[in-house]
Structure 1
């Protein structure tokens, strides 16, 4: 008997929908792209022309009310996520939500409760859990190659002297906009996956552009895990003039691992490639990380390439499987996990404002 095909509706038709969601829906065997919300089509940006087999709606309410849809992917700006997710769950739909999930941990908990009540699942699109270099770091840690990790540095530094004109630069932290909800969400989520909730959060927010904007454009967040636990540094800066941007530097009792450059999947998706295409998710060997381990009591270095990529398709495949089986525990990124990440962000905001470390 053939598996059920689930009809997917996508709210929004910007970069997130076109690059990160629709291509992954299309490579998920049990998912079918059935509908898209695009409020204002343009001659050179028209969902009906790009996807002639999909229904085109001009409002989210219309799409959510469509009884033929099983799954809703929400790719709009963060301040809309709570209302759209709540409406979709109550309309009997499963929901994939772009990160940041919602502006507050309280809203995240409320949606988690509604999900439990309705029996409809939520998955948060924290795709960088499936960055190949992150999976490589995780493998090295799980296998004990680095020993007990004492410091974990994770960076999204770049040189971007101009302020973004979208929600990442204009929405404001109260509405889940800005760097701490954009890049910070990824950095903190990866640390959360590896180490769980920290004991303390200490943050410094700054405006490296010095453009007079009240909103920070750069963050440094320290996550403390107690006297014997690791110190995690999550950092995002916008005035980092480098040919090779640091991504990870992990130091342990038996070794260290240092990796430069970003995962390639985003650029490949922007170029029109999809998971399953040749070399999708595969970094050039020249971008491999550097592993140093103790041998006969002395540090010995070697080049250490990324493991075989699982790709961002894994998050959609996992969500499809969870829906098919009805197993909420199988959702790849749970609403409660996104809630915990938001708790860390809220503590970072409080720390940056007060100048004090915040205990969780």
Structure 2
């Protein structure tokens, strides 16, 4: 006997919701897109007329029948929205970054455990094809003992943009935007490091948040360097993995994001 699909609500209707979340929700029979909160009433009601529309996230959390809430709102409101959702007995997925400080994260984890609810963060780039290739090469020993690992997420954006990802005083900048992908992937490969060296800078004129970082994760037998800057006019390095039997180099980003932006659904080959 098939169970009813999970009633799923999405908070926010920006790039993240439209590219990385809703195409998967709408493609899977196990989920039903039941509600969306956004200020973009015309776009939401035109694109998803079967979903209930809410102007405010708070209204959705307190009045919708959603069982699962996916939070794609700006980083500085992740904590409060997730806390309210858990208090309303809803399971929660938060777009990365999870929260903007450790204490808030620990409070959410404790609250979810107390209520017996699922709380997770959307680390979608664990399933990028190039990362899975790196993971496979390491696990099967093709490169031998790994000694040097580099992961880059570089762009060419020398001008500051007027958008919350760059302007927000809490959780803005590329360390919060791109850093979670690189850090999560490295933890998946090698676990928690013994130490971290971090260089985090504001480089662009008019920038108010970190727009350059170089993180070095120190392990007993290897070093992992995670880098992002906005002065890389491509083609850009993505991965460099060096072992005592060989090395692997990858240029450019995994193509899944571009395909999703072009409207190719996850159900297509």
Give the TM-score range, shorter chain.
over 0.9
Q: Deviations over 1:134-159 (max 9, x none)?
A: 00000000001111111100001121
Matches within 5 A, 1:153-232: 153-172=150-169, 175-209=170-204, 211-226=205-220, 228=221, 230-232=222-224
For 1:67 and 1:78, locate their aligned partners in 2 and report how far apart those are by CA, in whole Å.
23
Which of 89, 112, 126 does residue 123 from structure 2 map onto? 126
Q: Deviations over 1:179-225 (max 9, x none)?
A: 1011111111111111111111111123343x153433111110101
Q: Deviations over 1:266-307 (max 9, x none)?
A: 1111111111213xxxxxxxxxxxxxxxxxxxxxxxxxxxxx
| 1:273 matches 2:264 | yes
Contact 1:208 / 1:239 at 8 angstroms: preserved in 2?
no
Say which SS state the counterpart of residue 20 (structure 2) adopts.
helix
Say which SS state the counterpart of residue 233 (structure 1) adopts.
strand
The TM-score, its normalising length taken from structure 1, stands at 0.72
Contact 1:247 / 1:260 at 8 angstroms: preserved in 2?
yes
For 1:214 and 1:125, locate their aligned partners in 2 and report how far apart those are by CA, in whole Å.
26
| 1:17 matches 2:25 | no
Higher RCO (CA-CA < 8 Å; seq separation 6+): 1
- Count of residues in Structure 1 that have an aligned counterpart in Structure 2: 269
Contact 1:224 / 1:232 at 8 angstroms: preserved in 2?
yes
For 1:159 and 1:251, locate their aligned partners in 2 and report how far apart those are by CA, in whole Å.
26
| Runs of 5+ unmatched residues, structure 1 | 279-360
Say which SS state the counterpart of residue 117 (structure 2) adopts.
coil
Alignment RMSD (CA, Å)? 1.3
Contact 2:97 / 2:180 at 8 angstroms: preserved in 1?
yes
The TM-score, its normalising length taken from structure 2, stands at 0.96
Say which SS state the counterpart of residue 134 (structure 1) adopts.
helix
Q: Are the structure 2 counterparts of residues 251 and 84 from structure 1 closer, same or farther at C-alpha, using a change threshold of 3 Å?
A: same
Task: Report the CA distance between 1:84 and its aligned residue.
Answer: 0.7
Contact 1:208 / 1:237 at 8 angstroms: preserved in 2?
no
Match of 1:137 in 2: 134
Match of 1:240 in 2: 232
Task: Report the CA distance between 1:165 and its aligned residue.
Answer: 2.1
Say which SS state the counterpart of residue 226 (structure 2) adopts.
strand
Task: Report the CA distance between 1:4 and its aligned residue.
Answer: 2.6
Match of 2:74 in 1: 77
Task: Report the CA distance between 1:100 and its aligned residue.
Answer: 0.6
Task: Report the CA distance between 1:160 and its aligned residue.
Answer: 1.2
For 1:106 and 1:64, locate their aligned partners in 2 and report how far apart those are by CA, in whole Å.
23
